Amino acid sequence: MAITIGLVEDHSEFRKSLEYLISPHEKFKIIWSCSSVEEALNKYEDVNVILLDINLPGVSGIEAITLFKQKYPVPKIIMLTILEDDKHVLEAIKKGADGYILKKANPQKILDGIENVQAGGAALTPMIARQIMAFLRTDFKQEEQYSSLTPREKEILTLVAMGVATEAIGEKLFISAQTAKSYKEYL
């Protein structure tokens, strides 16, 4: 049975090129093709996979992930966009996107991505996968650094993060202001 697809892409030429790329393959069937999220929600028919741009008129693709997931939990969502910055990639994945493919990717990557998400995997271009790995490494290093602090250092760091003044930290923890200052400088 063919994998059914919905397209949300505001650039008509790119949308048509996607239709041209996907339509000849018996494995895939485009059910609907829309230029905005609002149109897609009004025209929606069940599909297995939604290819979703981010920069759309009205509701953005990032905002649409939540709308689609709440209203139609079955389809997998692949972001298909030109945006490759960490902020958009991570935000889309946190919101529930099942894949993130750049429009400049080899067309076969788009087809492979559709099959991958339908099979329960993820669809990521190598560059996006590297960005995610770099983010996770950085996040892990920060967590590792925090976990290596002593309980007293964590206590002081928490108070500093809350904006508590050095003197007040000293009073609260029964240490001198100079000791509190030394901790702050160390951290």
pLDDT digits (tens, 9 = 90+) for 91-132: 888 898 999 999 999 999 999 999 999 998 888 777 777 777
Contact at 8 Å (CB) between 52 and 6? Answer: no
pLDDT at 21 over 90: yes
Contact at 8 Å (CB) between 28 and 62? Answer: no
Task: Please give the CATH number for the structural domain made up of 3-136.
Answer: 3.40.50.2300
pLDDT at 9 over 70: yes
Domain ranges of the chain: 3-136, 149-186
Radius of gyration of the chain (CA): 23
pLDDT at 70 over 80: yes
Q: Spelled out in words, what is the top-level CATH class assigned to the domain 149-186?
A: mainly alpha
Is 90 exposed, middle or buried, given 0-12, 13-18 or 19+ CB atoms closer than 10 A?
middle
How many Å apart are CA 107 and CA 27, to the nearest integer? 15
What mean pLDDT value characterizes the chain?
Answer: 85
- The residue assigned the tokens 């950085």 is 138
Q: Do domains 3-136 and 149-186 have the same CATH topology?
A: no
Contact at 8 Å (CB) between 187 and 157? Answer: yes
pLDDT of residue 146: 52
